[in-house]
Amino acid sequence: MKKSTCKSLPNKIKWICKQIEEAFDEEYALRFRATTVIHSYLGDSTGNGVVGGAGTGIKPSDMKVFVQFDDFAIVDEDGHVVVPAAELRDLPITARVRTFAQAWEDGDCESGPDKKKDITSWVSSSYETFNVRATIDTSSVFLCRIMPYAVFQEELLGMDYDLELPLWSQKVIAADGKTVGVFRKGSERPSGHMRHIPNWRCDNRVFGANNSNIEDRRGGCINTRAKRVFVMSYSRNAEFAEVIKHIQDAFTPGFMPTYPPYRPGTNWDTPSQVPTRKTLGTEQAKNITVGNWATKSDPLKKLAPGAQDVNRKQFSKIEMHMDVGSLDPLLPEMHWLIPGNTPEEKEKNQHRFYINYCKYYQPEKYPAPFRADKLPIGGPNSCDEYPFAASKEGAGTARGNYSLRALNRVHNRLQGNAIGRWYTEYRVGEGNSYWVLIEP
């Protein structure tokens, strides 16, 4: 809403006041609604076009900005309409989109020319489109700042000037991320505070899942302030419902039992020494909240591609020693070893892929055949973990505050494909934050 007294209105719109019978010293406002939508694209596997855009000439780093003005009126201080939109004909309003990239960044972006129309034209055709094109240095990333405005032209002392009204949030953000006020034109912004100008991270990198079932995506721009949430639904994703149930149970405060068991004094730095599955009475519930969008918890952060072993080697692909010194025939001492004389030989031995905690904690999920050391080597189930292995908050750093479950192998694989495809299409890269939401 643009508000002023009649006396302070720019010369070109003082005619509005002449249509109002009330005294000029009352407060009136030019009310209008501005809507902006910024749309980006996802590069295809070649990086020369975009998904679903064959033949359009659209590039992965292109963006579109839609600016709409409507709901025009002159209103009094109580919000009552004094002059309706039908009587506001000749007042010009310009839609403008500025773009900006820092000089030291590895790219640039530019927008199209201003779109100027009078109110009659805005009423008959309420929106305009701006094409923004980003150019990116090879294999680089940069931020394109996109700033839409409503602009009123005015003359002062014989010179034309523009009154620009920003069409994005003017909340003032402190260093701790908290909102401390709203920036108003003509007011002084507190030192060290900032406004959230719409930032778009553009890159021409390849995002893929190292999976032949998931097509790579090269290039694109994303809204850095948008929250990325991976949604799983029991009804829409029945093909991996067992994984959804595992994560839901992991999020449930006090849920028991959970594997590995959480006990005070456990040395999580030696994962080969497996905490016993025997109930000792000291087991405690875990507090696994990270990544839960429903509770607005802290986010998960994506690891670099191929770095999942930092988490998985906390509970799998390692030699395991269980119930050492036990005399209980129901919990015999066991050692699951990897053939090889050197660490390098063991690392190359495929046998390590058969070893994981789930086979120890849930042996009933793994029927024969077994090796001589009682290690199952087949079966319909596999070991699922949360937080995800692809996150920095996974088992490798969780100090036992993570969850494992043996569940249907096909469910586990399909869920892995689904989130791998989601990482790719939403360009969730190393260090990027994301959440999980479970729906019915």
- Residue 381, exposed/middle/buried by CB under 10 A (0-12, 13-18, 19+)? buried
Please, which pLDDT band fits residue 18 given cuts at 50, 70 and 90? very low
pLDDT of residue 4: 42
First to last CA, the chain: 41
Please, which pLDDT band fits residue 186 given cuts at 50, 70 and 90? low
% of the chain at pLDDT higher than 70: 90
The answer to whether 132 touches 99, Cβ cutoff 8 Å, is yes
Greatest mean pLDDT among 87-101, 212-226, 310-324 lies in 310-324
State which H helix or E strand residue 286 sits in.
none
DSSP 122-157: HHHS-EEEEEEEEEE-TT-EEEEEEEEEEEEEEEET
pLDDT of residue 19: 43
Least confident window among 168-182, 259-273, 286-300: 168-182
The answer to whether 404 touches 259, Cβ cutoff 8 Å, is yes
Cα(427)–Cα(414) distance, rounded to whole angstroms? 20
State which H helix or E strand residue 206 sits in.
strand 199-207
Residue 230 or residue 104, greater confidence? 230
DSSP 389-435: TTBTTSTTTSTT--EEEEEEHHHHHHHHHHHHHHHHHTT--TT-EEE
Is 191's pLDDT higher than 70? no
pLDDT of residue 149: 96
Cα(297)–Cα(286) distance, rounded to whole angstroms? 15
Cα(165)–Cα(184) distance, rounded to whole angstroms? 10
Give the pTM: 0.85
The answer to whether 219 touches 138, Cβ cutoff 8 Å, is no
The answer to whether 72 touches 85, Cβ cutoff 8 Å, is yes
Is 170's pLDDT higher than 90? no
What does the pLDDT look like over 413-438, one tens digit per residue? 999 999 999 999 999 999 999 999 99
pLDDT of residue 21: 40
Please, which pLDDT band fits residue 192 given cuts at 50, 70 and 90? low
pLDDT of residue 305: 87
pLDDT of residue 140: 83
* Residue of 17, 13, 6, 133 whose CA lies nearest to 64: 133
Least confident window among 2-16, 18-32, 319-333, 339-353: 2-16
* Residue of 345, 61, 86 whose CA lies nearest to 221: 61
Residue 381: partners with Cβ closer than 8 Å, 6 or more residues away: 358, 365, 366, 406, 407, 408, 409
Average pLDDT for 16-43: 73
Q: Quote the mean pLDDT of the chain.
A: 89
Is 8's pLDDT higher than 70? no
Cis peptide before 253 (omega within 30 of 0): no
What does the pLDDT look like over 50-89, one tens digit per residue? 999 989 999 999 999 999 999 999 999 888 999 998 888 8
The answer to whether 205 touches 373, Cβ cutoff 8 Å, is no
pLDDT of residue 138: 76
Which amino acid is located at 135 in the chain?
T
